């Protein structure tokens, strides 16, 4: 039987890929000679459907809300965007249950009391839905939190960066 969470979704049962893991204090894996190749990921899971706003790594954190494609398009995504931050990923075009995303994002703002939200999207029109979800959650939240929007170009560069 699955346990219902306050902000939507279910507690994963049996799937280790959905288990909450705080990686902030763990030993770093050896990823070769290049420090740029090191993962900066501090938690698991990263998919917004599986993330719990109550997880310890979200508490008072700076959180990146990234469209799925951004980490593939922007070569230094780990160092420039997630180093020292918590992250959730989502696809505003392909993911189902986007109303749950708004609820979870609102939970990050109100329950986890995040410091900031940085929304990283691609320059394609369908990615605008992710910023819209974050803005909707921020507007509905009792707490106010700064929201930054970064747009990544298809060829990998940063197209724009502004506080929303």
- SS3 for 42-72 is CEECCECCCCCCCCHHHCCCEEEEEECCHHH
Query: What average pLDDT does range 15-30 have in this prediction?
Result: 70
Task: Determine the distance from the C-alpha atom of residue 23 to the mean position of all C-alpha atoms in its chain, rounded to a whole number.
Answer: 15
Confidence of residue 33 (pLDDT cuts 50, 70, 90): low
Place 139 in a pLDDT band, splitting at 50, 70 and 90. Answer: very high
pLDDT over 50 (residue 1): no
User: Distance (Å, rounded) from C-alpha 82 to C-alpha 71?
Assistant: 10
Q: What is the pLDDT of residue 26?
A: 60
Q: How far apart are CA 47 and CA 29, in angstroms?
A: 22
Lowest-pLDDT range of 11-20, 84-93, 112-121, 126-135: 11-20
DSSP letter at 25 equals T
Dist CA 105 CA 151 (whole Å): 19
Higher pLDDT, residue 56 or 17: 56
* Residues ≥6 apart with Cβ < 8 Å to 90: 47, 48, 49, 65, 66, 67, 68, 101, 130, 133
| Cα-based distances in Å from 116 to 29, 38, 160 | 28, 24, 18
The confidence score (pLDDT) of residue 11 equals: 46
**Domains of the chain by residue range:** 16-23+38-163
Quote the percentage of the chain above a pLDDT of 70: 83
Question: What does pLDDT average to over the chain?
Answer: 88
| pLDDT at residue 37, as a whole number | 67
The CATH number of domain 16-23+38-163 is 3.40.1050: yes
Who wins on pLDDT, 65 or 15?
Answer: 65
Angle at 54 between CA 82 and CA 163, to 5 degrees: 45
């Amino acid at each position: 039987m699955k346990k219902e969470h306050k902000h939507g979704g279910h507690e994963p049962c049996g799937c280790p890929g959905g288990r909450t893991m705080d990686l902030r204090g763990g030993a770093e894996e050896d990823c070769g000679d290049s420090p740029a190749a090191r993962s900066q990921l501090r938690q698991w899971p990263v998919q917004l459907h599986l993330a719990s706003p109550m997880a310890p790594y979200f508490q008072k954190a700076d959180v990146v809300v990234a469209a799925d494609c951004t980490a593939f398009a922007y070569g230094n995504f780990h160092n420039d965007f997630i180093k020292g931050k918590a992250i959730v990923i989502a696809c505003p075009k392909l993911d189902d249950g986007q109303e749950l995303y708004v609820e979870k994002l609102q939970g990050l703002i109100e329950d986890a009391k995040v410091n900031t939200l940085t929304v990283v999207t691609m320059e394609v029109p369908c990615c605008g839905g992710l910023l819209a979800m974050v803005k909707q959650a921020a507007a509905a939240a009792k707490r106010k939190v700064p929201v930054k929007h970064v747009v990544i170009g298809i060829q990998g560069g940063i197209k724009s960066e502004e506080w929303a």
